[in-house]
Structure 1
Amino acid sequence: MCAETPDYKTTLNLPKTDFPMRAGLPKREPEWLDRWARLGIYDRLREEAGDRKPFILHDGPPYANGHLHIGHALNKTIKDMVVRSHQMMGHDARYVPGWDCHGLPIEWKIEEQYRAKGKNKDEVPVIDFRQECRRFAEGWIDVQRDEFKRLGVTGNWADPYLTMNYHAERVIAEEFMKFLMTGTLYQGSKPVMWSPVEKTALAEAEVEYHDKESFTIWVKFKVSDFETHEVYRASEEESSEAREAVVKTAEETREKFLGAYVVIWTTTPWTIPSNKAVVFGEDFDYGLYEIVDTPGECWVSKGERYILADKLAAQTFARARLEEGHWRRVSDVTPHQLAAMTLQHPLAGAEGSEGEWDDPRDFRAADFVTDEEGTGFVHCAPSHGMEEFELYRELGMLDQVITYNVMEDGSFREGLPFFGGRSILKPNGKEGDANKAVIDKLVEVGGLLARGKIKHSYPHSWRSKAPVIFRNTPQWFASIDRAVGDGHDDYGTSIRERALNSIDKLVKFTPQSGRNRLYSMIESRPDWVLSRQRAWGVPLTCFVKKGAMPTDPDFLLRDDAVNARICEAFEAEGADAWYEDGAKARFIGDAANPDDYEQVFDVLDVWFDSGSTHAFVLRDREDGAADGIADVYLEGTDQHRGWFHSSLLQACGTKGRAPYRNVVTHGFTLDEKGNKMSKSLGNTVAPDDVVKQYGADILRLWVAQTDYTGDQRIGPEILKGTADSYRRLRNTMRFMLGALGHFEESDRVAASEMPELERWVLHRLAELDQVVQEGYRAFDFQRVFQAIFTFCTVDLSAFYFDVRKDALYCDGDTARRRAARTVMDLLFHRLTTWLAPILVFTMEDVWLDRFPGEDSSVHLQDMPETPADWRDAGLADKWAKVRAARRVVTAALEIQRTDKVIGASLEAAPVVHVEDTEMLEALKTVAFEDLCITSDILLTADPAPQEAFRMAEVPGVGVVFEKAEGEKCQRCWKILPDVGTHKHPGTCARCDEALG
């Protein structure tokens, strides 16, 4: 710069903003939370909703027990994005958070506290115990509420729903009574998943599968009789010659099979004392095998005969340490021959058995037998296996095969010979002594062929983490196949039929695979076990007649007045009223003689509680849904067997259809390597830690960047990448704020009067508006964010902002600068509202930087309507060609910059050879040198010389580098021939005019 040339820096329109480069989110986010609380943002939106269409995302209640984990954060953040985006798209988007408060986890915690103090739960009055459970839940609700709010989740936090609120307990009981009154409820005795540690039945949703090492045994059931008349009867279907042959050999056949052993295989030795039968497959090939030699150590003797499925014989003998040559196949064994056999329990006649197992075992065909593993025979203890139970139920033989050998704590009944008092599991969930006792006894009596151990997937209680068993106990069930008879038959007459039709006709699933998962579960599920043998929950509010059988029509007291009294008491006093002295007489009143009835004290499955929320939240609350149906239920994929499932069953039982229109499912959160998170592995990511280090907006941005419909990964490196994306977005917003300093309405330019570049940006905004709103309506946040992020970084920062910086900084009050600032304003309103559902804190920061004020908030805004006439496909096609040619020029100049031929692109005035006539004409109609940020540019149709720079992806464009000629303008830094020829020293014509 010459000595006499002024410093023109102060004459430039430089960005004006106090918006900081560094976000400081961990420190500043709580300030915005306090501000939103003062403003009452959520309540204001409800008050000002007017005739907006309600949109209801119904919250699946988390359990009020413990701090939040990353899965909670993912879930609540997705929900928050759904609610906020629909609010800003013109709905009245209400969100009532809720908590699941009853159930075993809380009861278990209180019992742990009792044990630590040496107290016995059973000696504490039940109402006192329930009150302690209530206080425990209240404490964790307050903790979790604060943790959810810290994530920026909006909602009616002042008045959430709780399943332990009195009105909720009343409605849960009321919904149960509908099952009672319509005949859906029944008492049955069947094997259910039972936790010996927690002493209660469990639902499928309360069970998780882990690897477990189990004992495995091969047990010998002796053929004690062979009924030849069964063989004669079978022969009647044959020819006379064949029949005579069968009859002739019948006695020989009898002698051949008597004393042989049918071998079963099981991984639950403790069920052998409850064995009542053995079953075989009707279509398998069976053989009679004889031991011809034995090695040193085994439990077989030479001459013993065994009946096995041919496909499994060799591997069974191998388990008994027998090799080929130790045994031979004697003959076929037909299904008719098997059916003629009578089997003897291996403990039959054992000294001290007191005749417990002396009765013959039933032996018949069953369709659940497999020849894929085992022996081809299945031992049946119908008290501990559902398939066996159903087989003998269909046969009408349950009274002959059901046992009650296993008590609620998993121990054998005291009077059971040999095994009384032995436990399947210890109180801590570890292996008890029952299996070993059974195996040792079988060895002693010669009833074992082989034994071993196997590692397999086995059901565990997700609360105590202890294995569960199947145990036959009297339980209360909801039939899902009986006709409900309540008049809600539009989608079927039974719960199962209504549920399947709802899935097919009423519900949209995201992702679609969720539909198949839920449908198949409903299609094949058994009746719903409603009862739990615990204390903390809503009781099964019913009475049974003393001495009556469950099948008797008057077994259950069904009376509207009784039900009304119970509901009234629960509304005023809560479910504790059921446990008050005199409750039975109070509720039965004059409807019947209370002495004739027993009060049921089981509590409802907590999934019935949460499944009933559609009634006491959606139906009963003012901020619920008028028709009691939510627009969205959104939870993790495990809820196909949990809340999605129970809510569907419960609603189909009481209102005839699904309680939701959309079911949205997210996957599980894994560590960076794709491993399941585990405290023992040290790979967990706590939401609180992320918030303290980065801020909640970074965690929210991670959620938006993931495909939540599958499993997601998170960890330090992933979060660093997320933070980098955040910084790039923040810089985009900061640039706009700087460019919009002192923007007034009088500066605004109509779209029709704008330069083509600005009109192209408006076209892109119109395209993006459609993508954003379609994405939000489809709950596809990854699509929304990726589209916005690409637009901000590629279309804006790397192109439009880069090009228009010169006009914004150096132009005077020109139409071009006014148009650019108008576009910046239009961009600002759209980007802030589009991103506000995701980056709730940052967009508030951006908004308040431009629109400060006590009542100002981006979260009180809607997404602006975007005029349809902004779209201009022809203009977009033209500018696609322009930008393609620009890429070749900028790439050519980058080489010169790297080689230090030039320091900045304004030092260049390249020659651009363009073969395509249409592209060349397009380039000639725009200020292509400004687009390329060069001082000059020459466009030509001449063929490009050999040395021209080319890009394969943009054929027909060649660039020859030339340096710009002239002097450098001391204000805009362009190199132009006219610099120095104007009134203001060292300026070009444009800058001279701007200076006046």
Structure 2
Amino acid sequence: MTDQPSQETKDYKSTVFLPVTDFPMKAGLAQKEPAILGQWEEMDLYGKLRERRKGRTRFILHDGPPYANGDIHMGHAMNKVLKDIIVRSQSLLGKDAPYVPGWDCHGLPIEWKIEEEYRKKKQNKDEVPAQEFRAECRAYADKWVGVQKDQFKRLGIMGDWDDPYLTMKFDAEATIVGELLKFAESGQLYRGAKPVMWSPVEKTALAEAEVEYEDIVSTQIDVAFEIVEAPNAPELVGAHAVIWTTTPWTIPVNQALAYGPEVEYVAIRGRQFIRKEGVGTVTSGDQLETHWEGVVLVAAKLFDEFRGRSAFSSDDDQFAKPLWSGKGSDLAGAIARHPMHHLGGFFAKPRPLLAGDFVTTDAGTGLVHMAPDHGEDDFALCKANGINPVFAVENDGKYREDWLWLGGQGSVINPKFVGKDGPICTDLAQAGGLLAASDDFKHSYPHSWRSKAKIIFRCTPQWFIPMDQNPSPAGEGRGPLAPASGKGEGDNGATLRDLALNSIEHTRWVPERSINRIRSMVEGRPDWVISRQRAWGVPIALYVHRKTGEYLVDKSVNARIIEAFKGAGADAWFGADHQALLGPHYDLNDYEVVNDILDVWFDSGSTHSFVVEGRYGEGVRADLYLEGSDQHRGWFQSSLLESSGTRGRAPYDAVLTHGFALDGQGRKMSKSLGNVVDPLKVIAESGSDILRVWVASTDYFDDVRIGKEVLAGSSDAYRKLRNTFRYLLGALSDFSEEEKLPVAEMPELERYMLHLLAKLDTDLKSVVDKAAGSENWLEFSRYTRALMDFANSDLSAFFFDIRKDCLYCDAKSDPKRRAYRTVLDTLFHALVRYAAPIIPFTAEEVWQSRYPNPEESVHFLEWPEVDAAWFDETLAEKWEELRLLRGYVTDAIEPYRRDKTIRSSLEAEVAVDLKDPEAVERFASSAVDFAEICITASASISGFTDDNFEGIRRISVAPSEKHKCGRCWRLLPEVEEDGTLCNRCDEVLTA
């Protein structure tokens, strides 16, 4: 050592090789991200990336289109960020991973908004010219496409924003109508009258995906239908078959009654009493008068329940000897009459009692009234018995003007109209047919998810795609009759249901359990109702022959229709010269022009044809669809059915389902609750990368929570990762290729860290690379957790902590320091790539901080190269054991730090005694400096054989009496007094 006066204390700070970087600890993402976004746009990052990946294996994530009708919400943000993470990670693998964002521009969400504006002005939308109304819808959609586009871009979503797909673009509308005509040409289309979900407020049919269920309180009534014929039980003539319903408005459309063939029924004679004066509950001592008397027919099991509702008092309270008892099958051939039969006409027709397998004794009376206009079971049973719908309820929910009872009145979803004091119940009571009515029945009921109004089942003429019909040979049309079912017709091919179910089994579903949901929905779904009675959308461009009822199938006509749509979009149909479209071989006077609008789910279900195939070639299908779990009945299913019907297979190879974003307490976000977390506010305050860390960290296969505490956790995780990058940048500030050291010449610790990096690489790749065959594919919460844990635990708290002395104080040419910085460089290049899909803005900032170049980007990089030789399980086992011991030493030192006996672990002398002699031998023969690992003045490992000691180790800690080096601050035996130099530091300074 150099001679130094003991009384002189020198400042060696300037001789220490501290990290140097301009990379700020404070992120300032909200201000910094827009500038980075601007740089990406200026350099055309997306376009250049397409050029660089041209010819590579392609990965297509087909974007499900959101509706263009408002600012984005947290569900949008979560969905788009997850898609972007996946697309970026596939690009990182070296694949050509384009992302074409899109919007659903047709349908009720937009049309409803335009109608709201008319309502505010007290104008009737139906009085506005159709072309003008459609133009307003188009302008409204275009406005929100622009707004949402900017909001999605601010999230860091990289894609073809200059050429997104819109279902309202002319070429898209032409392709959509072309897909419809494919169904027509194969005979997979028919027009029929069936009960469908109908919104009286929006005046259109709804798909199941457009319906949500809410709890409501309805009116329940018991109605008596007098039996006038009963060939198998003549004693029932004059008795009253009692039905129970929670939809009183269907009684004016009743046409039959249904019974369960195996249900036990009883006929009981009795009466109802009411108070002679006043109203209220009948109590003892009241003067009573008879309200109704006669014989009621109900299911034996439900008689007491009926009696409780109706205050019906039987002549034999024990009803041990009913007037009649028997099975439902004994009611075959019986005829009843409607309580309003005195009105004549429709109501005077006989109401047959029909056997219905769907009739149960779970509730009600065991008898069900049949209104084929308003129920699927009703429709099927009545149709099988030659009873047809009467279309009494109009599209606004009112009875048609010429209806004998309540004509022109309604709406049928108005609680006052259908309540116990409303006209239906009042008229039934006056006719002697109402036995009970109360406004207290609580149950779940379907509502339109747009207007939030109750819907009804309503039979209307609609267009359907059949689920259980084989396609007909090309060129054969199909008339308005319901399709044949089962196999054996047409080309003997599989039905649409068969094809869809087969496609489901050959698709990868993530998570795996989600296959059960889509499978059950397709197995049980009815025919697809594809028509809507609206103005804004793609028309069902068909011509129906007025005499035969068959739609025209002529490929030359269809080609002219498609060509017209390419030039003017869907508007071409509404203002068309239809004779010109039909051509010289057909007379327009012989045909009805169909003006119904296509279900918007058919639009979005067809997007694969003009986005995936349209851009990448016929027959190409998406590698992945990704949406929320509600899309099993929405886009996933409509796309599956559309593609199966036209191509015989699904349009996707894999489907990922994520849950919904809830508030911090696990509640659904609602403006009324005031618990909405706005992604735009989060971005403005904290930046997009924080929100992206939240998305990537969540177990998004289920519903996820977001709130202040959750976002604080994401911010903390981000901050730690940012500091890891800051340290790497600082430690590598003057690093050069010449400094690199071969792995074979590195110390064990560096080689152990390369092993951990190789292990991390394998774990991360199992999430990203489908070819790895991992069950963890696309489970980015695992990816993010592994990355964060590696940065925090393996690097910051372990590797960096141990080697900071080497970095700061070893000579720049020292092999150990060179090995450390070589591994840091390897770590930098790997981690910045791994992090880029999750935090793209920060990764770009990190990369540009070390390699500033406005023409380059971190997002051009590919997956880091990891040498398989880095794996060394034997070395890893040894170092895992050392890390475990290091943790025990740290815990043992902590009490001394708390009571200030020791201010730093560098002042501790540590002795570790182990009972395992083999472990002692392993560490004794190792070249590892245990004191360096524990960052202590000294640390020894030895054995002991004290049988009275129950533990497997004991650790003693004592303050060191050695002096501190004035440069590296280590307490070493060669330091003569505090402030002088140790041998190493002396050599570094005198070299």
TM-score using structure 2 length: 0.93
1:560 aligned residue (516, 537, 555): 555
Match of 2:736 in 1: 744
Query: What displacement does 1:116 show?
Result: 2.6
Kindly tell me: are residues 985 and 380 of structure 1, through their superposed partners in 2, closer, same or farther at Cα, counting changes over 3 Å? closer
Match of 2:569 in 1: 574
Contact 1:492 1:498 in 2 (8 A): no
Moved more, 769-778 or 76-85: 769-778
RMSD value over aligned CA atoms? 2.2
Match of 1:236 in 2: none
- 2:865 is paired with a residue whose SS is coil
Match of 1:587 in 2: 581
* Cα deviation 1:120-170 (Å, max 9, x = unaligned): 333332122211111111000000000000000110011000001111010
Moved more, 124-133 or 566-575: 124-133
Kindly tell me: are residues 480 and 293 of structure 1, through their superposed partners in 2, closer, same or farther at Cα, counting changes over 3 Å? closer
Query: What displacement does 1:318 show?
Result: 0.1
Task: Name the CA distance, whole Å, in 2 between partners of 1:521 and 1:472.
Answer: 22
Task: Name the CA distance, whole Å, in 1 between partners of 2:140 and 2:192.
Answer: 34
Amino acid at match of 1:677: M
Contact 2:464 2:531 in 1 (8 A): yes
* Cα deviation 1:208-227 (Å, max 9, x = unaligned): 11112211111111111222
Is 2:406 the counterpart of 1:407? Answer: no
Task: Name the CA distance, whole Å, in 1 between partners of 2:85 and 2:888.
Answer: 40
Match of 1:928 in 2: 930
Match of 2:975 in 1: 979
Match of 2:154 in 1: 150
Amino acid at match of 2:249: W
* Cα deviation 1:551-596 (Å, max 9, x = unaligned): xxxx21111111111111111111111111x521121121301111
Percent sequence identity over matched residues?
48
Query: What displacement does 1:301 show?
Result: 5.4
Match of 2:900 in 1: 900
* Cα deviation 1:356-392 (Å, max 9, x = unaligned): 3111101021111111111111110011101111123
Contact 1:701 1:722 in 2 (8 A): yes
Is 2:251 the counterpart of 1:259? Answer: no
Kindly tell me: are residues 142 and 21 of structure 1, through their superposed partners in 2, closer, same or farther at Cα, counting changes over 3 Å? same
2:680 aligned residue (673, 688, 707): 688
- 2:354 is paired with a residue whose SS is strand
Match of 2:443 in 1: 456
Contact 2:909 2:938 in 1 (8 A): yes
Match of 1:136 in 2: 140
Match of 2:793 in 1: 794
Amino acid at match of 1:497: D
Equivalences for residues 835-850 of structure 1 within 5 A: 835-850=835-850
Match of 2:942 in 1: 940
Query: What displacement does 1:84 show?
Result: 0.3
Task: Name the CA distance, whole Å, in 1 between partners of 2:363 and 2:700.
Answer: 39
Task: Name the CA distance, whole Å, in 2 between partners of 1:556 and 1:368.
Answer: 35
* Cα deviation 1:657-687 (Å, max 9, x = unaligned): 0000001001111111111111000001111
- 2:712 is paired with a residue whose SS is helix
Task: Name the CA distance, whole Å, in 1 between partners of 2:696 and 2:423.
Answer: 56
1:22 aligned residue (19, 26, 40): 26
Contact 1:289 1:307 in 2 (8 A): yes
- 1:357 is paired with a residue whose SS is helix
Match of 1:662 in 2: 654
Task: Name the CA distance, whole Å, in 2 between partners of 1:916 and 1:863.
Answer: 43
- 1:962 is paired with a residue whose SS is strand
* Cα deviation 1:301-328 (Å, max 9, x = unaligned): 5752211112111011100134787573
Contact 1:705 1:786 in 2 (8 A): yes
Task: Name the CA distance, whole Å, in 2 between partners of 1:224 and 1:485.
Answer: 47
* Cα deviation 1:324-343 (Å, max 9, x = unaligned): 87573514223343224221
Equivalences for residues 800-839 of structure 1 within 5 A: 800-812=799-811, 813-839=813-839
Amino acid at match of 2:555: D
Match of 2:612 in 1: 618
1:344 aligned residue (337, 347, 355): 337
Task: Name the CA distance, whole Å, in 2 between partners of 1:944 and 1:619.
Answer: 76
Equivalences for residues 4-43 of structure 1 within 5 A: 4-43=8-47
Match of 1:503 in 2: 504
1:374 aligned residue (364, 368, 376): 364
Kindly tell me: are residues 17 and 491 of structure 1, through their superposed partners in 2, closer, same or farther at Cα, counting changes over 3 Å? farther
Query: What displacement does 1:431 show?
Result: 5.7
Contact 1:807 1:816 in 2 (8 A): yes
Match of 1:544 in 2: 544
Query: What displacement does 1:995 show?
Result: 1.2
Kindly tell me: are residues 303 and 167 of structure 1, through their superposed partners in 2, closer, same or farther at Cα, counting changes over 3 Å? closer
Is 2:693 the counterpart of 1:701? Answer: yes
Is 2:98 the counterpart of 1:98? Answer: no
Kindly tell me: are residues 88 and 944 of structure 1, through their superposed partners in 2, closer, same or farther at Cα, counting changes over 3 Å? farther
- 1:961 is paired with a residue whose SS is strand
Query: What displacement does 1:423 show?
Result: 1.3
Equivalences for residues 755-794 of structure 1 within 5 A: 755-777=747-769, 778-794=777-793
Is 2:296 the counterpart of 1:306? Answer: yes
Structure 2: which 5+ residue stretches go unaligned? Answer: 276-280, 283-288, 476-489, 770-776
- 1:55 is paired with a residue whose SS is coil
Match of 1:241 in 2: none
* Cα deviation 1:483-509 (Å, max 9, x = unaligned): 12469999952211110001112x000
Match of 1:392 in 2: 382
Kindly tell me: are residues 904 and 391 of structure 1, through their superposed partners in 2, closer, same or farther at Cα, counting changes over 3 Å? same
Is 2:106 the counterpart of 1:119? Answer: no
* Cα deviation 1:50-101 (Å, max 9, x = unaligned): 3310000000000010000100000001100110001001111110000000
Task: Name the CA distance, whole Å, in 1 between partners of 2:724 and 2:297.
Answer: 79
* Cα deviation 1:794-818 (Å, max 9, x = unaligned): 1111111111111111111211111
Amino acid at match of 1:914: L
Amino acid at match of 1:445: A
Amino acid at match of 1:380: M
1:958 aligned residue (954, 965, 988): 954
Structure 1: which 5+ residue stretches go unaligned? Answer: 232-252, 550-554
1:992 aligned residue (983, 986, 991): 986
Amino acid at match of 1:262: A
Query: What displacement does 1:647 show?
Result: 0.3
Match of 2:773 in 1: none
TM-score using structure 1 length: 0.92
* Cα deviation 1:14-47 (Å, max 9, x = unaligned): 0111111110011111011001111111111111
- 2:373 is paired with a residue whose SS is coil
Contact 2:271 2:290 in 1 (8 A): no
Task: Name the CA distance, whole Å, in 1 between partners of 2:893 and 2:555.
Answer: 86
Amino acid at match of 2:754: L
Task: Name the CA distance, whole Å, in 2 between partners of 1:188 and 1:734.
Answer: 68
Task: Name the CA distance, whole Å, in 2 between partners of 1:466 and 1:336.
Answer: 40
Task: Name the CA distance, whole Å, in 1 between partners of 2:173 and 2:327.
Answer: 59
Contact 1:888 1:957 in 2 (8 A): no
Task: Name the CA distance, whole Å, in 2 between partners of 1:209 and 1:891.
Answer: 56
1:484 aligned residue (471, 494, 504): 471
Query: What displacement does 1:944 show?
Result: 6.8
Query: What displacement does 1:279 show?
Result: 0.6
Amino acid at match of 2:843: M
Query: What displacement does 1:963 show?
Result: 2.4
Is 2:268 the counterpart of 1:268? Answer: no
Count of residues paired in the alignment:
946
1:754 aligned residue (726, 743, 746): 746
* Cα deviation 1:255-293 (Å, max 9, x = unaligned): x32221111111110100110111111122211222278
Amino acid at match of 2:423: A
Task: Name the CA distance, whole Å, in 1 between partners of 2:299 and 2:116.
Answer: 50
Query: What displacement does 1:110 show?
Result: 1.5
Match of 1:283 in 2: 262
2:430 aligned residue (426, 444, 452): 444
* Cα deviation 1:169-219 (Å, max 9, x = unaligned): 100010000111111111101111111111111111111111122111111
Query: What displacement does 1:625 show?
Result: 5.7
Amino acid at match of 2:952: G
